[in-house]
């Protein structure tokens, strides 16, 4: 079964021999642990989570929240490079939905002449931006499974779970009629109004090939 032992060892620049000495086992045993062919003993688990300063769930193979958010961040970065298969289609849809989330919060102009990929390069590359604005995905049951237990899944499956979580949030925002103030004290329209106006703008300007025309 998948675990994160090898990843943690390499991040700490330890050899399998170093880890073997720490646990009092052979190097071969460490290799088997990392391949998931042998289960770690409870005392070794306790030693490792203290040494690496991680949770037991993460050591045994669960994803961290940062890993999930980085998968979202990378998907957004690459989404405009569309290719015709399901993996790239999901990334493209995520990019579109991420932009809608930020439009709903008044972060992106309604009349931005793009279908997706509207965030600035500095925001796209700033991991704190993703933590601040997209941590709501961890309310999703599917994402909760990824961070609470050892599950071996593909990036495609993780992206689908992320996209579903974003779509759920968008459905909430589409019915949110509350106006609010931004960090500078300026009043913003409600998320539902922003989303409605964006859709009207797209309907008025979209061409047959999916681009916006002015």
CATH code of 25's domain? 1.10.260.40
| Domain end call among 59, 85, 102 | 59
Tell me what pLDDT residue 177 has. Answer: 96
Verify that 71 and 176 share a domain, yes or no.
yes
How far apart CA 88 and CA 95 sit, in angstroms, is: 11
pLDDT digits (tens, 9 = 90+) for 86-100: 444 566 889 999 999
DSSP letters along 14-54, please? --HHHHHHHHTS-HHHHHHHHHTSSPPPHHHHHHHHHHHT-
Choice between 180 and 125, residue whose per-residue pLDDT is larger: 125
Tell me what pLDDT residue 83 has. Answer: 41
Domain-located, residue 77: yes
Max Cα–Cα distance, the chain, nearest Å = 69
Lowest-confidence segment of 26-40, 98-112, 198-212 by average pLDDT: 198-212
Choice between 30 and 92, residue whose per-residue pLDDT is larger: 30
Verify that 122 and 155 share a domain, yes or no.
yes
Tell me what pLDDT residue 114 has. Answer: 82
Verify that 72 and 9 share a domain, yes or no.
no
In Å, what is the CA distance from 23 to each residue of 7, 19, 35, 36?
A: 17, 6, 17, 17
Residue 142 C-alpha from the chain's centroid:
12
Most confident by average pLDDT, 35-39, 64-68, 75-79, 112-116: 64-68
Tell me what pLDDT residue 206 has. Answer: 80
Verify that 23 and 93 share a domain, yes or no.
no
Tell me what pLDDT residue 89 has. Answer: 53
Verify that 125 and 195 share a domain, yes or no.
yes
How far apart CA 174 and CA 104 sit, in angstroms, is: 8
Q: How many domains are there within the chain? A: 2
| Averaged pLDDT of the chain | 89
Residue numbers of the domain that contains 152: 65-205
Is the pLDDT reported for residue 49 higher than 60?
yes
Is the pLDDT reported for residue 85 higher than 50?
no
CB atoms within 10 A of CB 130: 21
Verify that 179 and 132 share a domain, yes or no.
yes
How far apart CA 44 and CA 119 sit, in angstroms, is: 45
As a whole number, mean pLDDT of residues 26-41 equals 93
Domain-located, residue 35: yes
The model's pTM is 0.81
DSSP letters along 121-146, please? HHHHH-HHHHHHHHGGGGGSHHHHHH
| Domain end call among 59, 87, 105 | 59
């Amino acid at each position: 079964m998948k675990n994160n032992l090898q990843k943690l060892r390499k991040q700490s620049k330890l050899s399998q021999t170093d880890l073997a000495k720490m646990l009092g086992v052979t190097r071969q045993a460490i290799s088997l642990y990392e391949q998931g062919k042998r289960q770690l003993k409870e005392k070794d688990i306790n030693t490792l989570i203290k040494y690496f300063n991680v949770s037991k769930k993460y050591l045994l193979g669960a994803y961290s929240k940062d890993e999930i958010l980085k998968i979202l961040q990378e998907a957004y970065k690459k989404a405009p490079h569309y290719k015709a298969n399901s993996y790239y289609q999901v990334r493209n849809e995520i990019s579109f939905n991420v932009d809608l989330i930020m439009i709903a919060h008044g972060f992106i102009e309604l009349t931005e002449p793009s279908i997706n990929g509207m965030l600035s390069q500095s925001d796209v590359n700033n991991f704190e931006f993703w933590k601040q604005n997209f941590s709501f995905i961890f309310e999703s049951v599917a994402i909760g499974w990824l961070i609470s237990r050892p599950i071996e899944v593909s990036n495609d499956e993780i992206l689908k779970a992320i996209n579903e979580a974003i779509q759920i949030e968008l459905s909430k925002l589409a019915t949110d009629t509350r106006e609010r103030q931004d960090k500078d004290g300026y009043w913003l329209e409600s998320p539902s109004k922003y989303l409605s106006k964006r859709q009207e703008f797209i309907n008025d300007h979209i061409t047959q090939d999916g681009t916006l025309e002015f």
